[in-house]
Structure 1
């Protein structure tokens, strides 16, 4: 039976230090603040937002959401972003992605202040992460995956890591973070040939393709460490991950559930990045 890697356990281990740092900031008259920019009412976004607000506010970080309608124009979307970007009260900005297809995220990525870029989406921060520059801010989810593995004392160095998903938000930056830990990394995606065989060769398998329950038992070798980054809604309207948990859990040595897995860690890493921005 697999060890279930519950995100709440990792978040609790980070809590005391983060609260201490927030109290030090408040003694100096600084209240760390995050602004979430959300377009529409997707359940996946709302679920993450609820968890993030609860986590950040529990640490003493102010968290406010700017909500725009699904049919918002590019001009109005950028206008709202620019208001947050220049505000002295905002230390970090989180833009929920993916955006509706008619909106272009690129101008926002180019304009966001690197210090307020707490989810590592700007070219400046991405470049720093790829260059192994400690000033770089990695996206919260990839950073949270590494945080979770280290918390459970899972060796990374020298391991065969397979990441299913090539997004610039998770897959690509996560591959760099694994390389920095001296793992051997393979990135796959939904069009990879022989995906099943490639996944079965993994000692650590990360599912981040955004496809509900795509990772089946036939794709996982016995004793594999399985990290599920996916947040999806299944046919019954329930949250689920990219891993078919019921099938895979008996084979894995460690596995993260969805919900209850990486989301809590991601929120804690987000809080950490906001606090670091307020300290700088």
Structure 2
């Protein structure tokens, strides 16, 4: 068996086209053009590249942006002041604080200070709570929301499926499990300290690898024909890899490419 590819690029293209049309329609009705504010504290090259990519993607769909670059010695109070300024700015539709931030920044204070409506990452407790309760109105974190879109647009049935998520981060693992549960999957949430991980992953019709540990899930841990989504980024010997081991493509029915 050779797994069929879950084509994220094709799905992304569809979404970009839809967002571009939605922005154009919004502006044609006389509403202001959406505006994304990004904040980068420090000079981490990888973080800077991520911010540049987000800015470029925003522009590609007609969303305006502004970029705030702060020195690495910025204090929590100084960042809070900027957040409060952006909260008040009616021209700013969404705020994105690039993480990780320097150690002296208390991100809990920063997240709590964000206007929940402008919290594009869905970190604010109000948004996290709405997602956890399955209630409308909460901002869903982008990677978990992207996983759901990828599955649905690929024709994968979520309702009634046994779904196993490996990884319990607040950014990906937990919200992914909640969004799958919202769509009526039977969900098991595992992590790197789960005993006998394979006994869980082998039950999965849908398996999401999000633990951030290279080669954690081998082919012997995947049920034949399963839908497997690997969203982790690990670096091994200068090469980017996910959480899956070699040969998973010979067992899975659907698989995201490396």
TM-score computed with the length of structure 1 as normaliser: 0.83
After superposition, residues 102-117 of structure 1 pair within 5 angstroms as 102-117=104-119
Q: Deviations over 1:2-29 (max 9, x none)?
A: 1122221111222333112211232315
Q: Which has the larger radius of gyration?
A: 2
Which one of 35, 50, 56 corresponds to residue 37 of structure 2? 35
Kindly report the root-mean-square deviation, in angstroms, between the aligned alpha carbons of the 2 structures: 2.1
Q: In structure 2, what is the Cα distance between the partners aligned to 1:254 and 1:42?
A: 35
Q: In structure 1, what is the Cα distance between the partners aligned to 2:257 and 2:49?
A: 15
After superposition, residues 34-113 of structure 1 pair within 5 angstroms as 34-42=36-44, 45-113=47-115
Partner of 2:255: 255
Q: CA deviation at 1:196?
A: 2.5
Q: Deviations over 1:134-173 (max 9, x none)?
A: 2111111111110000010001111111111111111111
Greater relative CO, 1 or 2 (CA 8 Å, sep 6+) = 1
Q: Deviations over 1:224-261 (max 9, x none)?
A: 1111111233321x3332223x4322221111134xxx
Partner of 2:181: 179
Structure 1 stretches lacking a partner, 5+ long: 259-280
Q: 1:211 to 1:91 in 2, by over 3 A?
A: same
Q: In structure 1, what is the Cα distance between the partners aligned to 2:210 and 2:177?
A: 12
* Residue pair 2:230, 2:242 contacting (<8 A) in 1 also: yes
TM-score computed with the length of structure 2 as normaliser: 0.89
1:21 aligns with 2:28: no
Q: How many residue pairs get matched?
A: 256
Partner of 2:120: 118
Structure 2 stretches lacking a partner, 5+ long: none
